[in-house]
Structure 1
Amino acid sequence: MALITFAGYPASGKSARVAELTAQLAPLLPPHLSLRVVSDDSLGIPPTVYDDSRAEKPARAALFTAIQRLMAQDTVLIVDAPNYIKGFRYQIYCAAREMKLRVCTVYVVATPDLCRQWNASRSDGRAYASETLENLLVRFEEPSSMVRWDSPLFTVLWTEESVPAAEIAQAILTGSVKPPNSGTLAAAKAPSDALHILEQTSTALISAIMDAQAATQGSGGLVTLPLSTSLKVQMKLPTRNITLSQLQRLKRQFVTVHKKAITLGTTEKGAVNWAEQSVADKFVSYLEENLKP
């Protein structure tokens, strides 16, 4: 249904604001929607992971995996984490867009001095080391309403009494849902026998072309090429002799291009058909285009 991403300085009061929003948002949601919160704390990720970039990377990956697992059409998911890297916020945005969820960002603002003060006063074992805190303050990448992955953006200052729950509810319940694009669609994989069909069909087509050329004695024109008992294709041969080496070179080029779609997948849904007839038709079109005088 929706994804709400919190961002802000470490020890800026994000978790307190999340608790406020959760309490105020719950009665505003329809009964069929559940409200979930995922955080470093809920995943058992200690603040010490931010002491070392080598430890931080797998911790961030664990958070992203949990976000993906909890996103659903019947869930409003709140992400309570530093989220200080704009690239990570973009990654979350892409995952939400793939799931066709509404999104918004809540930017919790506090001065660096207040963050230092609040961090030093923590007694729950979740305080950051002073050096780590300073490092995160410097590295923080501020959300912006001008970029799509942070928009709509709600900014909550440390002086404000509560979060704008009504406005956030409106954004996640009635805001536009952006459709997935080529950057967020999962690649559609080719069937396991696609490479075999590609090689077998193109090889059979070359043999049929050589036979047809011998039968027409190089006069060219439209010919029917039998590839099997049930598969035939038509091709317009040029009025000149085509050598086997030419055809094999064009076959290698054709196969190389289509191998990429087989191994990497494609986001062009419905545009790729790995049936023998489709492969044969594509190869014929490729040959006709490249054998023009």
Structure 2
Amino acid sequence: MALITLSGYPCSGKSTRASELVAQLSPLLPPQLKLVTVSDESLNISPSVYDDSRSEKPARGALFTAIQRLMAEDTVLIVDAPNYIKGFRYQIYCAAREMKLRVCTVYVVATPDVCRQRNASRTDGRAYTPETLENLMLRFEEPSSMVRWDSPLFTIPWTDQNIPAGDIAQAVTSGSVKPPNSGTLSALKAPSDALHVLEQTSIAMVSAIMDAQVATQGSGGLVTLPLSPSLQVKITLPARNLTLSELQRLKRQFVTVHKKAITLGTTEKGAVDWGEESVANKFVTYLEENMKP
């Protein structure tokens, strides 16, 4: 349904705002929707992972995996985490688009001094070291309403007593749903037996054409090729005898071209159909376009 990404300095009040969102959005959303919050704390990710990049990277990967797992059409997912890197926010945005979810960003603003005071006074064991806190604030990349992955953007200063719950509810229930980015779509793959079907069907076609020429005595025209008890295809042959070597050469060319399409997935606007009938019809088209009169 929707994804709400929180962003802000460490100890800026993101978790407090996330709790307020859950409380205030619940009566504003349709009853069939679930409100779910995922956070570093809920995933048992310690603040100490941000002490160095080697531990931070897998922790961020674990968070992203959890986000993907919790995304659903009946869920409004709140991501309560630092989300201080714009590249990571973009990654979350792309995942949401792929799931056809609405998105918005809540920027929780607090001054560095306020964040330092809150971090120093924490007694829950989730305080950052002073060095890590300063480093994270220095590296923080502020959300911007000018970029699509942060929009719509709701900015909430630490001095505000209330959150714009009504506007956020409207964004997650009636905001625009961006279509998936074509770069994130998985390429459709041909079935595992596609190469076998391609080879055997084209061989059967060559054999059937040779038999048809014997029956028509090389007069050409429209003929029906019986490839199997359940499959017959029509092809227009030239008014001459096609040699076996000529047909085999065309068959090799056809197979070579389509092997590449099978290996890469498809070259035909997302349509992958490598059944016997489809391959036979493709080969008919190829032959009719390449056979000399």
Please give the TM-score of this superposition, normalised by the length of structure 1: 0.83
Please give the residue correspondences for 1:165-244 in structure 2 after superposition, counting only pairs within 5 Å.
165-180=165-180, 182-185=182-185, 187-209=187-209, 222-237=222-237, 242=246, 244=248
1:132-188 CA distance string (max 9 Å, x none): 333333333322222322211111123322321111112112222334454455555
From the superposition, tell whether residues 243 and 199 of structure 1 become closer, same or farther in structure 2 (CA, over 3 Å).
closer
1:251 aligns to what? 255
1:98 aligns to what? 98
The answer to whether 1:63 aligns with 2:63 is: yes
From the superposition, tell whether residues 18 and 221 of structure 1 become closer, same or farther in structure 2 (CA, over 3 Å).
same
Q: Which 10-residue stretch deviates more, 235-244 or 114-123?
A: 235-244
| CA distance in structure 2 between the aligned counterparts of 1:292 and 1:122, rounded to whole angstroms | 84
1:176-228 CA distance string (max 9 Å, x none): 23344544555555444333323322332344445556777887654433323
The answer to whether 1:260 aligns with 2:264 is: yes
From the superposition, tell whether residues 75 and 246 of structure 1 become closer, same or farther in structure 2 (CA, over 3 Å).
closer
Give aligned-pair identity as a percent.
71
1:135 aligns to what? 135
Which residue identity does 2:54 align to in structure 1? R
Which residue identity does 2:273 align to in structure 1? N
Are the equivalent residues in 2 in contact too, given 1:6–1:80 (CA < 8 A)? yes
From the superposition, tell whether residues 119 and 221 of structure 1 become closer, same or farther in structure 2 (CA, over 3 Å).
farther
| CA distance in structure 2 between the aligned counterparts of 1:156 and 1:266, rounded to whole angstroms | 48
1:284 aligns to what? 284
Are the equivalent residues in 1 in contact too, given 2:110–2:158 (CA < 8 A)? yes
1:81 aligns to what? 81
Q: What is the SS of the residue equivalent to 1:227?
A: strand
Q: Which 10-residue stretch deviates more, 145-154 or 115-124?
A: 115-124
| CA distance in structure 1 between the aligned counterparts of 2:119 and 2:20, rounded to whole angstroms | 20
Are the equivalent residues in 2 in contact too, given 1:97–1:184 (CA < 8 A)? no
Gaps of 5+ in 2: none
| CA distance in structure 2 between the aligned counterparts of 1:214 and 1:136, rounded to whole angstroms | 81
From the superposition, tell whether residues 217 and 266 of structure 1 become closer, same or farther in structure 2 (CA, over 3 Å).
closer
1:25 to partner: Cα distance: 1.9
| CA distance in structure 2 between the aligned counterparts of 1:167 and 1:175, rounded to whole angstroms | 10
Please give the TM-score of this superposition, normalised by the length of structure 2: 0.83
Q: Which 10-residue stretch deviates more, 28-37 or 207-216?
A: 207-216
| CA distance in structure 2 between the aligned counterparts of 1:227 and 1:220, rounded to whole angstroms | 19
2:119 aligns to what? 119
Are the equivalent residues in 2 in contact too, given 1:10–1:115 (CA < 8 A)? yes
Are the equivalent residues in 1 in contact too, given 2:94–2:181 (CA < 8 A)? no
State the superposition RMSD in angstroms. 3.1
Which residue identity does 2:155 align to in structure 1? T
Which residue identity does 1:160 align to in structure 2? D
Gaps of 5+ in 1: none
From the superposition, tell whether residues 230 and 145 of structure 1 become closer, same or farther in structure 2 (CA, over 3 Å).
same
| CA distance in structure 2 between the aligned counterparts of 1:266 and 1:105, rounded to whole angstroms | 37
1:111 to partner: Cα distance: 3.0
